Homo-oligomer: A and B are copies of this chain.
Amino acid sequence: MTKSARSGPYICGIDAALDVVSGKWKGLILWELDNYGVRRFAELRRGLPGVSEKMLTQHLREMEQDGLVHREVYAEVPPRVEYSLTEHGRSLNAALGPLGAWGMDRLVRERTELVEHRDADLLPRPS
A49 to chain B, nearest CB (A): 8
Which residue in B11, B13, B101, B114 is a CB contact (below 8 Å) of A102?
Answer: B13
For the complex, what is the distance from the CA of A76 to the CA of B107, rounded to whole Å? 38
Asked whether any CB of chain B lies closer than 8 Å to the CB of A38, the reply is no
Which residue in B10, B14, B18, B103 is a CB contact (below 8 Å) of A14?
Answer: B103
Number of A residues, CB within 8 Å of B: 37
Which residues of B are found within 8 Å of A124, using beta-carbon distances? none
Give a binary string over A4-28; 1 marks a CB under 8 Å from any B CB, 0 the rest.
Answer: 1100001111111110111000011
Give a binary string over A77-98; 1 marks a CB under 8 Å from any B CB, 0 the rest.
Answer: 0000000000010011011111
Which residues of B are found within 8 Å of A5, using beta-carbon distances? 110
For the complex, what is the distance from the CA of A78 to the CA of B95, rounded to whole Å? 44
A99 to B103, Cβ gap below 8 A?
Answer: no
Asked whether any CB of chain B lies closer than 8 Å to the CB of A30, the reply is yes
B4 to A99, Cβ gap below 8 A?
Answer: no
Given contact pairs A16-B103, A17-B102, enumerate 20 new A-B contacts (beta carbons under 8 Å).
Answer: A4-B114, A10-B107, A11-B31, A12-B28, A12-B100, A13-B100, A13-B101, A13-B106, A14-B31, A14-B103, A15-B103, A17-B99, A17-B103, A18-B22, A22-B22, A91-B102, A94-B98, A95-B101, A95-B102, A99-B99
